[in-house]
Amino acid sequence: MGGQARPKRGTTYFKVSFTRDQELYQICARQVHASDLYGLIEISDFVFPEGRLVFNPGEERLRREFEGIQRTFLPYHTIVRIDEVLESQEREIKIVPLQALPGGLSRGPSEAPLIKSPER
């Protein structure tokens, strides 16, 4: 098949973006699966940036929030995006207020999954 060869297991991680309390969270993890618990995504084996010289309060908040957590379960409708990223790329975890995002994110009908607002 003509396509890129898939990297060896362990050389990638997942960057997961999800919403919570009017904020967009971005975390990194090695394992992301559909859960046996209906309607949930299971995220485990969290990966945090190492050796940073600059203090990032959002990063520290995420470290504290997920400290000691082996796995977490998120409802499908809170997931904005999941990317598989090569290990060689810099890891970035952060929390961003939804109002601060360019173009913003808005809720669709009945609190459906987040969708990007169209440009006008």
CB 28 within 8 A of CB 93: yes
The span from the CA of 84 to the CA of 26, in Å, is: 13
Break the chain into its structural domains and give their ranges: 12-97
Reported as a single tens digit per residue, the pLDDT across 25-53 is 999 999 999 999 999 999 999 988 776 66
With the C-alpha atoms ordered 8, 10, 15, 18, is the resulting torsion angle positive or negative? positive
Q: Which residue has the higher pLDDT, 8 or 17?
A: 17
The per-residue pLDDT for range 93-115, each reduced to its tens digit, is: 888 888 766 665 554 433 444 44
Give residue 98's Cα distance to chain centre.
Answer: 14
pLDDT reported for residue 40: 96
The vertex-54 CA angle with 53 and 59, nearest 5°, equals 110
Contacts (Cβ under 8 Å, ≥6 apart) of 82: 14, 15, 16, 17, 32, 41
Closest to 13 in 3D by CA, of 90, 103, 98, 117: 90
